[in-house]
Amino acid sequence: MKVLPTTNTDVSRSRWFRSWGYHAEFYAQTWRGSVASSVLFPILYLASLGIGVGHLVSHHTGLVDGQTYLHYIAPSLLATTTMQLGEGESLWPVLAAVKWVRTYHAAATTPLEPDDILMGKLAWVATRAFVTAVLYTIIIGCFGALQSWWCLTLPFIGTLVTVAFSAPLVAYAARSQSDASFSTLYRFAFVPMFLFSATFYPLSTYPGYLRPVVQFFPLYHGVALARAAAFGQGAIAAQLGHVAVLMAMATVGIAWGRRTMRRRLTD
């Protein structure tokens, strides 16, 4: 065999895209286990809560904000699903890649820079989020929950929610020494957020003094956006505000991640 030195200095194609391709190929090899959580669970939630609880709700209060209960929660489950995708892809897998298995360290010995590794990862997570959100939009469409052409923005909203969570969590995982804090995050941040972001009932249900707390949750903004898009209701200005909050999280997360990733991989 030949291993004679040959010069290959082709560093022309976007390097982050190579990292994206690596993730895509990895997923192509290992996707089977993850389908259940990304598509099946939301359907189960929708069926159980939307049809089961929805039945009770319709008997007691009738419509929720002018929607049947099933329709009311369908868009918010898109937001929670994409949030969970962002969480699941960003903590343990990244800690494994920088500490336990060190595959990011291996990648850092190739032409890739830490920024490329970070952006390839986030681009891949965004890709998965987009595909998941498209599937999910179709599913909730089948349940009759889409009432406006604005619903075409749902895949983008889902992707934005995922990246808004993924970017800061990747940054955090890249500077972690162990996963001890990860389950704490789930217990005290992600699960409460999932339950109390006006996910299952309107903000007006909460007592006045708790509403700012709910509105402080990042997921709340994703839920509000998804609902507005599905039903074509709500002021544009308010939606832009929600988008701005999520974009800000993503931007801060990326800036932080560039620092933590560089420090972790090149020191």
Partner 1 sequence: MSDSHILEAHQLVKRFGDFEAVRGIDVTIDRGESFGFLGPNGAGKTSTMRMISAVSQPTGGTISIFGLDPRTDGPEIRSRLGVVPQEDSLELELSVRHNLEMFGRYFDLPRRIVRERATELLEFTQLTERANDKVDNLSGGMKRRLTIARGLINRPEILILDEPTTGLDPQARHLLWDRLYRLKREGVTLIITTHYMDEAEQLCDRLVVMDQGSIVAEGAPRTLIERFSTREVVELRFMTDDHEEYFDRLSPFAERVEVLPDRILLYVNNGDDTLRDVHAANITPSSALVRRSSLEDVFLNLTGRSLTE
Nearer Cβ to partner 1, position 111 or 202?
111
Among 30, 177, 178, 204, binds partner 1 (CB under 8 A): 30
Structure tokens at 223: 């839920």
Of 4-12, 42-50, 66-74, 224-232, which segment contacts partner 1 by CB under 8 A? 4-12
The whole-angstrom separation of Cα 201 and Cα 95 is: 35
Picking from 97, 91, 52, the residue whose alpha carbon sits closest to that of residue 73 is 52
Binding to partner 1 by residue 260, rule CB under 8 A? Answer: no
Binding to partner 1 by residue 177, rule CB under 8 A? Answer: no
> Nearest approach, Cβ of 19 to partner 1 (angstroms)?
7
Binding to partner 1 by residue 105, rule CB under 8 A? Answer: yes
The whole-angstrom separation of Cα 28 and Cα 199 is: 32
# residues near partner 1 by CB under 8 A: 37
Binding to partner 1 by residue 9, rule CB under 8 A? Answer: yes
Contact 114, 265 (CB under 8 A): yes
Q: Rounded to a whole number, what is the distance in angstroms from the first to the last CA of the chain?
A: 36
Nearer Cβ to partner 1, position 11 or 138?
11
174: Cβ contacts below 8 Å, ≥ 6 apart: 94, 98, 118, 257, 260, 261, 264
Nearer Cβ to partner 1, position 48 or 266?
266
